[in-house]
Structure 1
Amino acid sequence: MPRTLRTLAVTAAALFALTACGSGSTSGGGGSSAEAADATTSGELTPIEVGVIPIVDVASIYLGVQEGIFEDHGLDVTLTLAQGGAAIVPAVQSGQMDFGFSNVASIIIGRDAGLPLKIVATGPQSTGDGQDDAAAVMVPGDSEIQSMADLEGRRVAVNTLNNINHATAYEGVKQAGGTVEGVDFVEVGFPDMVGQLQAGNVDAITAVEPFVTMAEQGGARNIYGFFAEPVQDLSVSGYFTTDQLIEQDPELVEAFTAAMKESQQYATDHPEDAKAILSSYTSIDAETVDELTMPAFPQLHNVASLERMAEILREMDLIEEIPATSDLLVDGAGQ
C-alpha cells in the first residue's frame, strides 16, 4: 500500500482504536490555570471531563472520584463512558473533553499519523504473570495448540487489527519461533470472542478480563499472557490529552496527573474496592468479578515498555518512525 494511503488507513484505525478509545457536562478546556492551582485553598473545583470505556482497566479513576482524590486536587470530574475512540478522540481534540483513556499502541500510531496527543498519566500494567494476568490467549480445552508457535495456519481473534492486542500476540508468535505471516488474525469484538471460540469459528482468542474468566468458565485454557510475556512490565494504557492543553494549562494537567497517581496507588492498596467499583460502570456479574484477575495499577508509566511497543509497531510497518519518548509521555508521568 502506498505511504499516503497507508497513513490515511492507520489514522482512521487510530481514531477508532484509541480507547482511550457522549453526554455529560463539558469543561471547555478545564478552566483557567489559576483556578486549578488555587482550587484546594479556595474551595472551588475546576470541572473536567474524561472519556473512558467500560472495562476493568479504568477502575482506578472511578475509585479516585469516589474517594475524593480528585477533589483534593481541585478537580470536579465527569467520567463519560464511550465504546471507543471514535467518540473520545475527536472530543479531546476539540476541547469538549479534557482527557481520554487509550491503549499505548493506538497513541503511538496516532502520534505517528499526526494526532497531537500525549500520555499524561499511566493506566493499567500487566501483572507480569502469564498465567494470572488480565489478558490471555485462550484456546478450547481439547485443542492441540500448546504454544504461540502452534498458531501458524490458525485463525486468531483480535478485537481490532493493528492495535496493542494484535501487536503483542504478533510479538509472542515471533518469540516462540513461529512464522507470523502464517497466522490469520481476524477481527472479533470482545463480547463475541468466547462464543466464536466455542463455535469453532476461530482457533484462539486474545481475550481481556472479564472475557478471560468467562472463557475459562466455558472450559477454555490459557496458553499465553500476551500482555505479561512479550514485553517486560508492559504499561498497557494511559490517560492522554492534547499538546495544546499541556502547553496552555500545565497546572491543570499537573493536577490531573497527581490525582491519577494517587488513584492508582489507592487501587493497588485496596484491590477489593477496585473490584467492587466495577458494578458501578460495567455489567459484569458478581461471580465473574470475584474470579477475574485485575491488572496492576502503578503510579508511573514504564518508559522501557513504551519504547519496546513502538519498536514492535515499527517492525509491523504500522508507524513510519519510532517517536521520541518526550513526544508520547509528559515529564513526571513515567520511569
Structure 2
Amino acid sequence: MRCTRRTFTVLAAVALLAATAACGGSDDNGKPSASGSGGTTTVKLGLIPIVDVAPVYLGQKKGFYEKQGLKLAFTQAQGGAAIVPGVVSGQFQFGFSNATSLMVAQSKGVPVKAVANGVGSTGKDGADFGAVVVKKGSPIRTAKDLEGKSVAVNTLKNINDTTVRESVRKAGGDPDKVKFVELAFDQMPAALDKGQIDAAQVVEPALATVKAQGGTVIASNFVDTAPDLTVALYFTAAQYAQQHPDIVKKFAAATEESLTYANSHPDEVRQIVTSYTEIPQATLDKVVLPAWPAEPNRASLDRLAQLGQGDGLFAKTPDLDTLLP
C-alpha cells in the first residue's frame, strides 16, 4: 500500500475492518498461534528491512523472546503506513512504524497502541543513521537548495517529508517548494545515481550505499527536528492489547532487552543485518548505527506531532498519552 492521499481513506476504513475482524472469532484475526512442546507462542511482526529493526532479529537469535515464551515471524513491508493496516486488521500481531504514521492513524480513528520503543536518532548532525543525500557532483549543497528539486522519501505525507521540510525551513528555504516523490529505501541509491531524483532521505543501510557511490549528506533531518528524536515504535492494535495483555507485556519486555543488548553490541548488530538485507560487507562496516533507547523521548514526539499538525497530516490532534506505552 502506497502512502498517497488514498492512504488516509484506507486508514480510516481499517478501523471498521478491525472491528469486523474482532467480531468474527477466526484464528486469523489477531490471535497468536501456539506452537512447540514448550508452549511457545508465535506472533507475526511487520517490519521494514532496514538497520532500525536489527535489535528484534538479534533478540530472536539471542533467545530473549524465547525466554518470554514467544517466537517472532517476520514479514517485510515498504513503510509504516503499510504496516499499520496489517496490524489493525489482524494480519500481524505487532508492527514497526515511524511515529508519524501512528499519529496519523490515531487521528483517523484507527485503534493503535505503541508497546515498546523502536529506534532513535543519534542526535549527531552529519553522523546520524538517517540523512538527506545527493549524488556525487550535485550542485545542491544545503537543504535550502532543495527548493524546486525532487526529493525521494519512502512514504509520502509522513515522518520523512515532515522532517526534511524542517531541515529546509531551518536552512532558510521554503519547504512548500520541495517536490517529494515516493520510493522504497533500497531503490533510492540507484535512482539517485542515475539522476532520476535530485536528492533522497535515506536511512541505513541505504545511506552507506549512497556514500559508497560518492554521495554527500546535506542535512540530518532527524537531528534538525529534535534532539535525540524518537523515530519509530513497535505497536499493536488497541483491541489486541486489551485481549492479550500478557503477550503484549512479554513482547515489550523482550524488545526492551533486545534494544539494550543491541546498543552495547554493535558488531553483532552489523552481522545480523546481513540476515535480512543484501549489503556488501565493506559497506556494512561503514553503516552508522542508530540509538536504541529503552524508552521513547516524549519531548521529541511532542515536537514531531507539532510539525505534523502544521503540515496538515492529522484529522485531529494526536493523543500521545493514549498512544504511547
One of 17, 29, 32 as aligned partner of 2:31 = 29
Matches of 1:158 and 1:226, distance apart in 2: 12
Partner of 2:145: 150
Structure 1 residues 113-132: aligned runs within 5 Å: 113-132=108-127
State the partner residue of 1:107. 102
Tell me the equivalent position of 1:164: 159
Superposition deviation, residue 63 in structure 1? 0.8
Contact persistence 1:209–1:293 (CA under 8 A): yes
Cα deviation, residue 299, structure 1: 0.6
1:319 paired with 2:317, answer no
Alignment match of 1:245 (pick from 221, 240, 244): 240
Q: Say if 2:118 and 2:231, in contact at 8 Å, map to a contact too.
A: yes
Of residues 305-314 and 79-88 in structure 1, the stretch that sits farther from structure 2 once superposed is 79-88
Q: How far off is 1:115 after superposition?
A: 1.1
2:260 corresponds to 1:262: no
Residue equivalent to 1:3: none
How many residues align? The count is 310
| Matched-pair contact (CA < 8 Å) for 1:11–1:110 | no
The worse-fitting range, judged by mean Cα deviation, of 201-210 and 59-68 is: 201-210
Q: Structure 2 matches for 1:64-143, cutoff 5 A? A: 64-84=59-79, 88-143=83-138
- Calculate percent identity across the aligned residue pairs: 42
Report the CA distance between 1:47 and its aligned residue: 2.6
Q: Distance in 2 between matches of 1:263 and 1:269?
A: 10
Tell me if structure 2 keeps the 8 A contact 1:54–1:82: yes
Q: TM-score, normalised by structure 2?
A: 0.86
- Higher mean Cα deviation, 155-164 or 294-303? 155-164
Task: Report deviation, 1:89.
Answer: 3.4
Per the alignment, residue 279 of structure 1 pairs with 274
The AA in structure 1 aligned to 2:268 is: D
User: Cα–Cα, structure 1 residues 316 and 7, in superposed 2: closer, same or farther, change >3 Å?
Assistant: same
Counterpart Cα distance in 2 of 1:120 and 1:13: 20
- Deviation string for 1:249-289 (max 9, x for gaps)? 22221111111110000101111101100111111222211
Q: Is the 8 A contact 1:52 1:79 kept in 2?
A: yes
Unaligned runs of 5+ in 2: 15-26
Letter in 1 for 2:106: R
Report Cα offsets for 1:229-250 as digits up to 9, x if no partner. 2222111111110111222222
Q: 1:154 to 1:84 in 2, by over 3 A?
A: closer
Structure 1 moving runs of 4+ over 6 Å: 13-16
Task: Give the conservation status (yes or no) of the 8 Å contact 1:264–1:298.
Answer: yes
Measured after TM superposition, the shift of residue 139 of structure 1 is: 1.7
Deviation at residue 127 of structure 1 after TM alignment: 0.7
Which structure 1 residue ranges, 5 or more long, are not aligned? 1-5, 17-24, 33-41, 331-335
**Distance in structure 2 (CA, Å) of the matches to 1:201 and 1:80:** 29
Q: Report the counterpart of residue 8 of structure 2 in structure 1.
A: 10
Q: Is the 8 A contact 1:135 1:208 kept in 2?
A: yes
User: Where do 1:175-194 residues align within 5 Å?
Assistant: 175-194=170-189
Within 1, Cα distance between the matches of 2:7 and 2:72? 34
Write the distance in 2 (CA, Å) between the matches of 1:60 and 1:137. Answer: 24
What's the Cα RMSD here? Answer: 2.8
CA distance, structure 1, for counterparts of residue 67 and residue 134 of structure 2: 46
Query: 8 Å contact 1:152–1:183 — kept in the other structure?
Result: yes
| Residue pair 1:158, 1:166 contacting (<8 A) in 2 also | yes
3-state DSSP of counterpart to 1:223: strand
Superimposed CA distance per residue, residues 205-248 of structure 1 (whole angstroms, 9 cap, x where no aligned partner): 11111221111111111111112222221111111101112222
TM-score by length of 1: 0.84
Equivalent residue, structure 1, for 2:20:
none
Partner of 2:283: 288
The alpha carbon displacement at 1:143 in A equals: 2.7
Please give the per-residue CA displacement for 1:25-66, whole angstroms capped at 9, x wherever unaligned: 97952379xxxxxxxxx9533332212222111100011111
Alpha carbons 1:129, 1:229 under 8 Å: kept = no
- 1:42-53 maps to which residues of 2 (within 5 A)? 44-53=39-48
User: Measured at CA, do residues 150 and 90 of structure 1 come closer, stay the same or move farther in structure 2, by a change above 3 Å?
Assistant: closer
Give the C-alpha shift of residue 9 in structure 1: 4.7
